[in-house]
């Protein structure tokens, strides 16, 4: 079985469509790690694609923000502007859909979450210290997480935690006797200095995860954001992946 793992689409339809096209004939099932909406210009189109294709998906902090489960004060000022804009335009159908998203899900030999197992929707796993409590809570050998918008892999072997960020593309084997946290990066707003959309493929037979980067028409997304009057910094950062 091959799973396509996508995260942090953030209303970026161009990036999302390119990633779906890339994954289409390569995987059996696509799974989403949350933050479908926020920041970008096409929240309804992106939410509809996840909903209509019935991709299993967990809730991200931007979904919780739209649902008012967490207050707008939990977002940085630019994210808050974009979230308010998103909420004004979100259809009732898509709003009801994002309300159904659970905070975590379990599959055959892995789990998925937006942030961490300690705090599934809100916590960032960025280093060994923040990874440690999640490793303790893992019931499966592998966990996929997003939220940081930076691809990374961390493992715990005989009590020792190691981790590193992933530059560009690469394949990573999932050891049987260790636990692994894999961050699949972001489809619609990468922050690792690489503006290409990120996605991962987990091959359950080979016990390998591949991190891929996919180019998309960034200028087109930026043009739509300009038209929508979204903050300039959010428009600019797509070109630099920052």
Which residues form the interface with Zn ion (CB under 5 A)? 8, 35
User: What is the per-residue DSSP string for 182-239?
Assistant: EE---SS---SS--SEEEEEEETTTTEEEEEEE---HHHHHHHHHHHT--HHHHHHHH
- Whole-angstrom Cα distance, residue 51 to residue 9? 14
- Whole-angstrom Cα distance, residue 90 to residue 54? 18
User: Residue 8 or residue 63: which is nearer to Zn ion going by CB?
Assistant: 8
User: Residue 55 or residue 207: which is nearer to Zn ion going by CB?
Assistant: 55
The least distance separating Zn ion from the CB of residue 205, rounded to whole angstroms, comes to 30
Residue nearest to Zn ion (CB): 35
User: Residue 163 or residue 188: which is nearer to Zn ion going by CB?
Assistant: 188
The least distance separating Zn ion from the CB of residue 40, rounded to whole angstroms, comes to 11
User: Residue 12 or residue 134: which is nearer to Zn ion going by CB?
Assistant: 12
Contacts (Cβ under 8 Å, ≥6 apart) of 11 = 36, 37, 38, 39, 40, 41, 42, 43, 45, 46, 86, 188
The least distance separating Zn ion from the CB of residue 149, rounded to whole angstroms, comes to 6
Q: Note whether 202 and 5 are within 8 A (CB).
A: yes
Q: Note whether 11 and 43 are within 8 A (CB).
A: yes
Q: Please count the residues of the chain.
A: 242
User: Residue 13 or residue 174: which is nearer to Zn ion going by CB?
Assistant: 13
Residue in this structure with the two tokens 């977002």, named with its chain if needed:
75
The least distance separating Zn ion from the CB of residue 203, rounded to whole angstroms, comes to 26
The least distance separating Zn ion from the CB of residue 177, rounded to whole angstroms, comes to 32
């Amino acid at each position: 079985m091959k799973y396509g793992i996508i995260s942090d689409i953030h209303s970026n339809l161009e990036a999302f469509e390119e990633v779906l096209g890339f994954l289409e004939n390569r995987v059996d099932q696509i799974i989403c790690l949350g933050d479908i909406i926020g920041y970008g210009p096409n929240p309804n189109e992106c939410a509809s694609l996840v909903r209509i294709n019935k991709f299993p998906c967990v809730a991200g902090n931007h979904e919780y923000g739209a649902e008012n489960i967490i207050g707008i004060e939990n977002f940085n000022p630019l994210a808050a502007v974009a979230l308010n804009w998103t909420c004004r335009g979100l259809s009732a159908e898509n709003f009801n859909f994002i309300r159904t998203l659970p905070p975590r899900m379990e599959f055959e030999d892995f789990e998925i979450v937006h942030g961490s197992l300690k705090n599934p929707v809100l916590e960032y796993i960025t280093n060994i210290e923040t990874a440690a409590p999640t490793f303790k809570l893992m019931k499966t050998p592998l966990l996929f997480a997003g939220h940081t918008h930076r691809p990374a892999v961390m493992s715990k072997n005989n009590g020792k935690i190691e981790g590193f960020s992933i530059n560009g593309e690469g394949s990573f084997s999932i050891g049987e006797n260790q636990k692994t946290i894999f961050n699949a990066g972001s489809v619609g707003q990468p922050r690792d200095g690489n503006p290409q959309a990120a996605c991962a493929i987990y091959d359950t037979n080979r016990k390998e995860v591949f991190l891929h980067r996919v180019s998309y028409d960034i200028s087109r997304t930026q043009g739509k954001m300009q038209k929508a009057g979204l903050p300039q910094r959010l428009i600019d950062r797509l070109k630099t992946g920052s």
